[in-house]
Structure 1
Amino acid sequence: MPQTQLIRGLAAGSILALASAAPALAQDCERGTLDTMFCDTDGDLVADAPAEELQDPGTLVFAYTPVEDPAIYEDIWEPFIAHLEEVTGKDVQFFAVQSNSAEVEAMRSGRLHIAGFSTGPTPFAVNLAGAVPFAIMGSEDGEFGYKLQVYTRKDSGIETMADLKGKRVAHTSPTSNSGNLAPRALFPELGVTPEKDYEVVYSGSHDQSMLGVVAGDYDAAPVASEVVDRMAERGLYDPEEVKIVWESKPFPTTSYTYAHDLDPALVEKIKQAFFDFDFTGTALGEEFDGVSKFVPVTYKDDWAVIRDIQAANGVQYTPEGLAAEK
């Protein structure tokens, strides 16, 4: 399939339109919070592989979360994609997604097979698209995670979280964990409640929040540490102009997932490609400083804290909930 036609197909459609057809595909089974398209008979909170109609595509489509400029990441992921092709024996197409919603929609419709979903949208991908998280970037000793950090300019006059009262604060997007949901769940205990004590302005992404703080468009912003660290390494802002007011304990980072309906033999090759990949000397290793390999994770255990934060915010894993991300 030509690249332009493939990408056009991935970007097309709406998850709301897909959801309207879901009742016809509903299955009579245990599923917890999963969409009616899926079953979860073993209680691991992710979709079971179907008994029939497994996918074994000639071309695998891979996407990485749209946290920053997706064009940058196509080159960065090139060595891994070459490795994935070698291990699976398949052609692999990188899909530069423009939004979390588009990424979830693409996997739900069967046009996206392997994807990195950012922390907050991962539960939407699991529940609406049948994504199965299995890996995360980690250190040699298997550690992983990032922190929620609250940044402001050094000359802002903001020294504590209480100083955010009456200010204009950038959140990233409604479904973002560190950029919106975690602040709403955690900040009240720190003496400041979003919307009530300060004005929330959605910037669209972590990098836009950070750049807005530097430019003075926002008084402060809660952002993911891994994103702003990479921005600083690329010289996108001067760390000397900003300061951290508060930071959290670590959260899980981007989840790497496969579509639940892929052939099990193919899934094993995909996992092998991830867990055997050597970051050393690659653009991927240079971009993601501090990580050296992919480590195994499970959605049930490693995303429990994220589900708790989202529950505290009244998040429901529905098409309407995901639509708020657009």
Structure 2
Amino acid sequence: MLNSSLLRRRTFISLVATTTLSLAACSRTEFNQQEYLPKILDTPPYEQIEYSFAVHPLHNPSRLFEIFNPLMEYLNNHIPQAYFRLEASRDYSTYDKKLASASVDFALPNPYQTIAALDTEQYHVFAKMGDDYNFRGIILVRKDSGIKTINDLRGKTISYPAPTALAATMLPQYFLQQHGLDVLHDVKNVYVGSQESSIMNVLHGDVDAAATWPPPWELLVQQRPELKEQLSVQWQTDSLPNNALIARKDIPIEVIKQVQHLLSKLHMNEQGRRILAGMYLSKFELADNQTYQPVRDFVAHFRAEIRDPEREM
């Protein structure tokens, strides 16, 4: 059964008040003795429906709100009949369960989560993040670690955000496997819950290498420039289609089209470019379910050669 939060309504009641103002010197008795009181209209001007908009754990919840809440405000200012509420999740597992139960209205999942959501037959893709070249994994090491080759990782510990993080976990693990490392036996894999945690684990020396992907790395470097002095991007993987925008199938198509239009044009105005800059993104673009067929192909190879992510959800 679909979540009923979609039906929560915010109704605005318009009050119409009329007053009289004497503009000439005349007696009150010349006017009709009528009291002018506020009148409540029988029908409100419109109904505002709340929609949840769940973004997967690209960052910790406070950072996620800082980056994505301006986007919600932008949508709210341009679609007056709707109210979009940003919903964060404490970790990937929690987020995955929300999509599996179809408990959120709109979502921005990673590509692996996207195909899993499509398989529930409750969601469909209507747009995606651009810059596919950036949807790739990177593996960080400390510059003083002595790790130069993939063979140097044998017996070492590598941190990742989560088993189902496609760019930051699955792509790096596949890359290492293709380059001669048995990632299930030659290294110790630890899943630390977020992109920032993965990066900070290698910075503090708690692990020997850390997997993540470019946007959270670049955003964290902006906050802490010293990271580039101590860490280096030792390897990077091939890319796949970037994160998707999906809507539950019971959402009115008119609302979806409005969101689709606003997001696909976001890079064409100054306010939109500022919002995108916070995401380390140049634009959103149109997409559909078929856009993610390359992801299905990759996941099939990953399952066959390494592990089944669903068993670790």
- TM-score band, normalised by shorter chain: 0.7 to 0.9
Quote the residue 1:100 is aligned against. 92
1:134 partner SS: strand
| 1:5-49 deviation per Cα after TM superposition (whole angstroms, max 9, x unaligned) | x7xxxxxxxxxxxxxxxxxxxxxxxxxxxxxxxxxxxxxxxxxxx
What displacement does 1:79 show? 3.0
What CA distance in whole angstroms lies between the structure 1 residues aligned with 2:256 and 2:62?
27
1:120 partner SS: helix
Quote the residue 1:257 is aligned against. 246
Give the conservation status (yes or no) of the 8 Å contact 2:58–2:195: yes
What displacement does 1:113 show? 1.1
* Structure 2 residue corresponding to 1:117, chosen from 97, 100, 109: 109
1:102 partner SS: helix
Quote the residue 1:292 is aligned against. 282
In structure 1, give the amino acid aligned to 2:298. I
What displacement does 1:263 show? 2.0
1:243 partner SS: strand
| 1:64-115 deviation per Cα after TM superposition (whole angstroms, max 9, x unaligned) | 1112112223233233222322443212212122233433433454541111
5+ residue gaps, structure 1, are 1-5, 7-55
Give the conservation status (yes or no) of the 8 Å contact 1:119–1:252: yes
2:71 matches 1:80: yes
What CA distance in whole angstroms lies between the structure 2 residues aligned with 1:249 and 1:109?
32
Give the conservation status (yes or no) of the 8 Å contact 2:168–2:213: yes
* Aligned pairs (5 A) from 1:1-326: 58-88=49-79, 89-128=81-120, 130-138=122-130, 145-235=134-224, 238-278=227-267, 280-281=270-271, 284-289=275-280, 291-301=281-291, 303-314=292-303, 322=310, 324-325=312-313
5+ residue gaps, structure 2, are 6-46
In structure 2, give the amino acid aligned to 1:123. I
In structure 2, give the amino acid aligned to 1:307. R
2:284 partner SS: strand
Give me the TM-score of the superposition, normalised by structure 2: 0.74
What displacement does 1:304 show? 2.9
Give the conservation status (yes or no) of the 8 Å contact 1:107–1:259: no
In structure 2, give the amino acid aligned to 1:297. A
What CA distance in whole angstroms lies between the structure 2 residues aligned with 1:321 and 1:128?
16
Give the conservation status (yes or no) of the 8 Å contact 1:151–1:221: yes
Shift of the 199–110 alpha-carbon distance from structure 1 to 2, 3 Å rule, reads closer
Q: CA RMSD in A?
A: 2.8
**Larger strand fraction of residues:** 2
Shift of the 68–129 alpha-carbon distance from structure 1 to 2, 3 Å rule, reads farther
Give me the TM-score of the superposition, normalised by structure 1: 0.71
How many residues matched?
263
1:125 partner SS: helix
What displacement does 1:214 show? 0.6
Shift of the 226–252 alpha-carbon distance from structure 1 to 2, 3 Å rule, reads farther
Shift of the 125–110 alpha-carbon distance from structure 1 to 2, 3 Å rule, reads closer
Give the conservation status (yes or no) of the 8 Å contact 1:116–1:256: yes
In structure 1, give the amino acid aligned to 2:104. L
Shift of the 285–242 alpha-carbon distance from structure 1 to 2, 3 Å rule, reads same
What CA distance in whole angstroms lies between the structure 2 residues aligned with 1:321 and 1:216?
27
Shift of the 234–253 alpha-carbon distance from structure 1 to 2, 3 Å rule, reads farther
Shift of the 108–266 alpha-carbon distance from structure 1 to 2, 3 Å rule, reads farther
Shift of the 185–308 alpha-carbon distance from structure 1 to 2, 3 Å rule, reads farther
What CA distance in whole angstroms lies between the structure 2 residues aligned with 1:153 and 1:114?
38
In structure 1, give the amino acid aligned to 2:55. Y
In structure 2, give the amino acid aligned to 1:324. E
What CA distance in whole angstroms lies between the structure 2 residues aligned with 1:287 and 1:112?
24
In structure 2, give the amino acid aligned to 1:119. P
In structure 2, give the amino acid aligned to 1:93. R
